[in-house]
Homo-oligomer: A and B are copies of this chain.
Amino acid sequence: MSKLAYLGPEGTFSEEALRILAPEAERLSCPNVGAALEAVRRGVADAAVVPLENSLEGGIASTLDELVRGEPLLITAELLLPVRFSLLARPGTEIPHIKRLLTHPAAHTQCRGFIARELPDALVVASASTAAAAQEVALPGSPYDAAIGASIAGEHYGLLEIASNVGDRDDTVTRFVMVGRPAPLPAPTGADRTSTVAFLAEDHPGALLELLTEFSVRGVNLSRIESRPTGDGIGSYFFFFDFEGHVADARVGEAISGLHRVCADVRFLGSYPRADGIAPQIRRGTSDTEFAEAGEWLARVREGRL
């Protein structure tokens, strides 16, 4: 049985994601994303489940930074988890009783409508995570009456879900990824995503445009881009890219080879099935078949067989 690290404590959305991605796995709670990834690098865990995008728990920037530094790791799966907030309290608590509410600031932001409407007089106190809020509320003698967090946190700490779906929007999702040590890649499924990090060789107007041209000229569509300073001085950036397709695809392979040639460095983060199962539109001239045909044509031309 495999052991998987996650961003704890018990009851976070990360744990919820882990339980969906690997229901059978043994779980290892870690205090931050860096600790979860280090557990994988050191072999303490077989893989980690960490938030990559749009996370409530603020994990994005640190996930990226931790993936970029240290020993290479490999993303092998992703999950899009709808973010559903619940109002959690000790048995016997009713909404009118709630005077002191504990939650993570991002959850506070996303539940402002509910709080204004249903708990207009409650004092809202910030916690380190939604799970920590639930844990605190569950303590006997806690000064807090309720927490806002994942329903799973309620289960963990013995709280009741006295209201569900209390977020202002019902379309918020967090993207989680499973990250392991280098190993053979997941096989292409036809609806895959690839993640890489590229470090600019030099900064000048149009430098990013050159990188993106490596993708667009081979018909590879980006689904995410983010620049981040390297921390090695002003004007030095790296770019985090997610794009459609698997590195086994001819167009993706040629694109990231091109990136590798023109960048100071490229770190491959993984090719894995898209959680939404959407297959890419393959532009004319960029299918594997067309790459193979063009390769045969080139071989003939190089021999003068016109």
Contacts and interface: CB of A to CB of B under 8 A. Distances in A.
Interface string A92-124: 000000000000111011001000000000001
A202 to B, nearest CB: 9
Interface in A201-257: 201, 203-206, 208-210, 212-229, 231-235, 237, 239, 247-248, 253-254, 256-257
Indicate the size class of the contact surface on chain A: 35 or more
A184 B294 CA distance: 19
Contacts of A183: 304
A18 interface: no
Contact of A284 (B34, B262, B293): B262
22 contacts: A58-B58, A58-B61, A58-B105, A58-B106, A61-B106, A126-B132, A127-B128, A169-B231, A183-B304, A184-B303, A185-B302, A185-B303, A201-B285, A205-B283, A214-B217, A225-B226, A235-B278, A257-B298, A258-B294, A260-B293, A261-B286, A262-B284
Interface in A56-109: 58, 60-62, 66, 72-74, 104-106, 108-109
B171 A231 contact: yes
Interface centre among A201, A256, A284, A298 (most CB of B within 10 A): A298
A284 B231 contact: no
B225 A31 contact: no
Interface string A132-170: 100000000000000000000000000000000000010
A112 B127 CA distance: 21
A285 B223 CA distance: 23
Given A105-B31, A128-B128, A304-B184, A225 B247 contact: no
Contacts of A218: 258
Interface of A: 31-34, 53-54, 58, 60-62, 66, 72-74, 104-106, 108-109, 112, 124-129, 132, 169, 171-172, 182-185, 201, 203-206, 208-210, 212-229, 231-235, 237, 239, 247-248, 253-254, 256-258, 260-263, 267-268, 276, 278, 281, 283-286, 290-291, 293-295, 297-298, 301-306
